[in-house]
Amino acid sequence: MKLLLKIFLPALLFLFSLSCEESFSPIGDFEEKYTLNCVLNGNSGFQEATLTATYFADGKDPFTNQTDPVVKDAIIKIWLNPDTVVIMKDSTISDTSLNRYNTPKYFYYIENFKPDFDQELRIEAQLATGQRLIGTTSTPKQVEFNRRSDSMLPMDNKDIVELSWIAKEADLYYYPSLTFSYEKEINGIRTEHIEKIPARYIEFEGKTIPFYPRASESPAVIFERSAIIKVLTDIAEGVDKSSIYLNVQAELEVTVLDKNLKSYYQASIDGLDQFTVRLDGSDFTNISGGLGVFGSYLKISRTIPISEKLITSLGYNAIFN
């Protein structure tokens, strides 16, 4: 079985499995609790869950604990709209680099389970002791791109490109990402590359650095014309421009987080870094009988043409993949 692990939004959200190490005073009685985390990906049929127990750490540093707090042999069920129910299986990954305890990663999973927009879901984990942890979530309602958005990168006679979408409910979070692909030919061999387009560039400590869109409630994202031209120009640094073959279609992808993930994100973000998460856990939980998060997200995408006039002016070759 092939497990797809990605660093963009799913791996990031699963960092909250460290919530089992929540901050507490070592003085006083220790109360064991259980943490159930499951983030459903509406663009994949593979879903994963983790179940862990809190533990008493030696002193105030939770990283002194060397025993994996994973809880095995639980029965985890997911209900969909409430007529369909599936039971998660358990498995391990032998790559110990995925687990700070240097042991195989133990997790629960289901295959061929792909939630869609506007669906009600419920999860229940029953431990060997009979204790139950329960959570509910609703996938986001349909989100569609706004046809009145700008239609070219960059737009003629405009200093910005504004891309927007329309949602059928409020209180969601959106994480937009705009990318383009190109091929670079060296010694007759072409290699494909994918580059992310920043919303703008900022000056920081004497350096020019890219600033990428962040997750927010806004149903729109703005890219500066100068940022688009700069990122396209920079890909040819150190090579002959004629060796660059640029795809004329960029791709906008918007990850739509449900209300539970929005609440978790708001409770966890710290500082100005994108998707910075506190490792001492979050104050948010929507699991009754324990701790953790049960949420969902879906992605929508569309292509946006890059100006062929700009491509040729940069000395590149245009490709139409």
Strands 317-319 and 75-80: unpaired
Residues 251 and 302 sit within 8 Å (Cβ to Cβ): yes
**What pLDDT score was predicted for residue 3?**
42
**What pLDDT score was predicted for residue 31?**
73
CA distances for 185 relative to 207, 231, 236, 308, angstroms: 29, 18, 11, 20
Per-residue pLDDT of the chain (321 residues; tens, 9 = 90+): 444 434 334 444 443 443 434 444 444 565 789 999 999 999 999 999 999 998 666 655 555 556 778 999 999 999 997 789 999 999 988 766 666 667 788 999 999 999 999 999 999 999 999 999 999 999 999 999 999 999 999 998 899 999 999 999 988 999 999 999 999 999 999 999 999 999 999 999 999 999 999 999 999 999 999 999 999 999 999 899 999 999 999 999 999 999 999 999 888 774 334 433 344 456 789 999 999 999 999 999 999 999 999 999 999 999 997
**What pLDDT score was predicted for residue 75?**
98
Q: Is 221 exposed, middle or buried (0-12, 13-18, 19+ CB in 10 A)?
A: buried
Give, in degrees to the nearest 5, the angle at Cα 228 between 222 and 229: 150
Kindly state the DSSP code that residue 141 receives in the 8-state scheme: P
pTM: 0.82
**What pLDDT score was predicted for residue 24?**
42
Cα separation, 94 vs 1, whole angstroms: 12
**What pLDDT score was predicted for residue 27?**
46
Cα separation, 177 vs 193, whole angstroms: 16
**What pLDDT score was predicted for residue 218?**
96
Residues 178 and 187 sit within 8 Å (Cβ to Cβ): no
**What pLDDT score was predicted for residue 4?**
40
